Amino acid sequence: MRITIIGAGFTGSVLATELARSAPTGVDLCLVGTPDGYGRGVAYGEARPEHLLNVRARDLGATQDQPGEFARWLNLTRRAEESFLPRLVYGEYLYSRLQSAAQVSLAGFNQVQQEAVAVDREGGAYRVLLADGSDFLTDRVVLAVGTLPPQRLQGVGPRLLVDPGYIAWPWQRNLYGEDALARVPNAARVLIVGTGLTMADTVVTLLRRGHTGPITALSRHGLLPRAHLPEPGPAIALPPNVLHALNSADVALLLRTLRSLAPIVPDWRALVDALRPYLQGYWKTLPDEQRARFLRHLRSYWEIIRHRLAPSVHEELEQLQAQGQLRIRAGRLLRARRGEAAVEVVIRERGQAHASAEQYDVLVRATGLDTDVERTSHPLVGQLRDAGTISADPLGLGLRATPQFEVLDRTGAPVRGLYCIGPLLRGQLWEITAVPELRVAARQLAVQLLKAPSSSMRVAREPLPLAAVATG
């Protein structure tokens, strides 16, 4: 049996490692991903030294039953385990454990450093087509592509799209290995669309490069992610009234219950963390109407308290605001175009009837996580969608799948042998973007994939594209 994982970021790497450690002889594993960040992912492999993890090192082990593995891999002291380390270090940890698993695996382990651009059903199997024109057959496919490419900003004119004054993705590298922010002049007036974690990384990188110009960050609510405490607080257990609300399938009731509890807990962060083990089950009980209500009214507020910044990064952003160099605004970008001397934008601030015309030197898109399958430009996901092999979540939260991770086609039927894991399952699970939830899902899916396949699922072995393969 050949199992192919498409996507060699965090989720694909962790799943491949789980399979390599448990698959018997006779199973071929194939991990397909682009060379940039292979085995590490964009978040960890293409980060810069100043980009910090937003979780303490002690909690970042990539194995479900060994959450302290990352800290042990680094031989950290107890004090250092509580710190927020550079994301590049975590990328090296992921890559190291992947290669170690490949070396000792009883299964064949092939690492294909190519982009997968299409997956077609062929009898009882799948043909995977790669960007270099090669292809191969496989029994089972797992889509572990992570989040989708950010969509084009609404209102950006065609001239600006191809102008140096517009940066569609801050970490996009040119042929010389420079990321897009390297061309921003230090005194430039910068407008960043997005006020989340990607914005924070963008601002920190600009500052490390000596940026002195004003920076404006704009989002619909104008909310900055909250900070972790410098020292972790005590954990709490949820009281019965919260557990009752979690069984109610009523967003408003849960919100009222949490608001009544917040003033009496030692710290709100402990309350948020105590909720996490229950959230996947809670989300599954919500009808689409309740999910849509949450997304409209509460999503932005949940994201800033759930996905928090390292304390040092949050303090730096607050200092910049106090000094006047960084301004956080709530509003919408209505229009952006290339003017004669600057990027000309029209912004309407939240709650205002009128808009303002403003000028900046550089416009940066930092809108972060995207899971909208219907509107994505991702080649493989678009191909599968257009073929009807996958179907989009009705609220734009990825694709539809069974509880066993098998995707559903446009008719709602399970697609046998085609699975998905990671952020594209937000429609089913909501909390499936961070290490604790992903490592549990990886273990569950690894068990599912290694179940004995029916005879119809076995395919004739075709050679993998050797030019792109490193075999463990």
Domains annotated for the chain, with CATH where assigned, are 2-149+371-471 (3.50.50.60), 158-226+308-365 (3.50.50.60), 240-306 (no CATH)
Write down the pLDDT at residue 185. 96
pTM for this predicted structure? 0.93
Write down the pLDDT at residue 325. 98
pLDDT in tens, 426-450: 999 999 999 999 999 999 999 999 9
The pair of three-digit structure tokens given for residue 31, joined into one six-digit string: 């991990």
- Does residue 41 register a pLDDT over 90? no
3-state SS track over the chain? CEEEEECCCHHHHHHHHHHHHHCCCCCEEEEECCCCCCCCCHHHHCCCCCCECCCCHHHCCCECCECCHHHHHCCCCHHHHCCCCEHHHHHHHHHHHHHHHHHHCCCEEEEECCCEEEEEEECCEEEEEECCCCEEEECEEEECCCCCCCCCCCCECHHHHCCCCEECCCCCECCCCCEHHHHCCCCCCEEEECCCHHHHHHHHHHHHCCCCCCEEEEECCCCCCCECCCCCCCCCCCCHHHHHHHCCCCHHHHHHHHHHHHHHCCCHHHHHHHHHHHHHHHHHHCCHHHHHHHHHHCHHHHHHHHCCECHHHHHHHHHHHHHCCEEEEEEEEEEEEECCCCEEEEEEECCCCCCEEEEECEEEECCCCCCCCCCCCCHHHHHHHHCCCCCECCCCCCECECCCCEEECCCCCEEEEEEECCHHHHHHHCCCCCHHHHHHHHHHHHHHHCCCCCHHHCCCCCCCCHHHEEEC
* Mean pLDDT of all residues in 93-119: 95
Write down the pLDDT at residue 179. 84
Write down the pLDDT at residue 173. 78
- Does residue 286 register a pLDDT over 60? yes
Question: Which has the minimum average pLDDT: 14-28, 164-178, 344-358, 378-392?
Answer: 164-178
CA 158 to chain CA mean position, Å = 28
* Mean pLDDT of all residues in 363-383: 94
Write down the pLDDT at residue 470. 57
Write down the pLDDT at residue 262. 85
Write down the pLDDT at residue 454. 46
Q: How many residues does the chain have?
A: 472
- Does residue 216 register a pLDDT over 70? yes
CA 387 to chain CA mean position, Å = 25
- The CA distance from 195 to 225, in Å, is 8
Which amino acid, 186?
N
| 172 confidence band (pLDDT: 50, 70, 90) | confident
Write down the pLDDT at residue 175. 64
* Mean pLDDT of all residues in 132-144: 97
Write down the pLDDT at residue 101. 95
- Does residue 463 register a pLDDT over 90? no
Per the listing, tokens 């967003």 go with 251
234 CB burial (10 A radius; 0-12, 13-18, 19+): exposed
Write down the pLDDT at residue 455. 42
End-to-end CA distance of the chain: 17
pLDDT in tens, 60-72: 999 989 999 999 9
Write down the pLDDT at residue 469. 60
Q: What is the dihedral of CA 337, 339, 202, 221, to 10 degrees?
A: -50
* Mean pLDDT of all residues in 389-404: 96
224 CB burial (10 A radius; 0-12, 13-18, 19+): buried
* Mean pLDDT of all residues in 193-213: 96
* Mean pLDDT of all residues in 104-129: 95
Write down the pLDDT at residue 363. 97
- Does residue 88 register a pLDDT over 90? yes
Cβ atoms of 335 and 191 within 8 Å: the answer is no
- Does residue 255 register a pLDDT over 60? yes
Write down the pLDDT at residue 244. 93
Going by C-alpha positions, the residue among 305, 308, 48 that lies closest to residue 201 is 48
- The CA distance from 423 to 434, in Å, is 9
Write down the pLDDT at residue 165. 94
- Write down the mean pLDDT value for the chain: 92
Q: Parallel, antiparallel, or unpaired for β 469-471 and 166-167?
A: unpaired
Per the listing, tokens 């994301």 go with 87
Write down the pLDDT at residue 47. 85
- Does residue 39 register a pLDDT over 90? yes
* Mean pLDDT of all residues in 185-199: 97
